[in-house]
Amino acid sequence: MNDCIFCKIINNEIPSEKVYSDDEIVAFKDIQPQAPTHILVIPKKHIEGADMLTPGEDTELAGRLILTAARIAEQFHLEKGYRIQTNVGEHGCQTVRHIHFHLLGGKQLN
């Protein structure tokens, strides 16, 4: 996607503070954090949202995204708890149409 900000981050066209990267996944700090720890975990493959995941084809990737978020939570010492969240579509407040998981923690969340 030429105009996708997350694809531009993946391609190093826009700077980000990456905390994790492998062949399929990138994680970076959110530029407008909603918690002391706020990291976005995204696939390198452009998928618009959870509503666009393909059963079978994307099943393993979807699981890896959540497991990666959990491993990053360990690295950031979020032992007291954290939230993994994804928003879907306009009414779900998804502002970037590239599937991403928010890892939020570091304080008591409301």
CATH number of the 5-105 domain: 3.30.428.10
The answer to whether 77 is a known catalytic residue is no
Per DSSP, helices labelled H in the chain are: 5-10, 59-75
pLDDT tens digits, one per residue of 51-83: 999 999 999 999 999 999 999 999 999 999 999
Question: Residue 1: what pLDDT?
Answer: 61
- Considering the entire predicted model, what is its pTM? 0.95
Delimit the domains of the chain by residue range: 5-105
Query: How far is C-alpha 13 from the geometric centre of its chain's CA atoms?
Result: 18
Write out the two tokens for 38.
């706020």
* pLDDT, the chain, mean: 96
Answer yes or no: is pLDDT of 2 > 80. Answer: no
Q: What is the residue whose two structure tokens read 């306009």?
A: 90
Residue among 38, 46, 91, 100 flagged as catalytic: 100
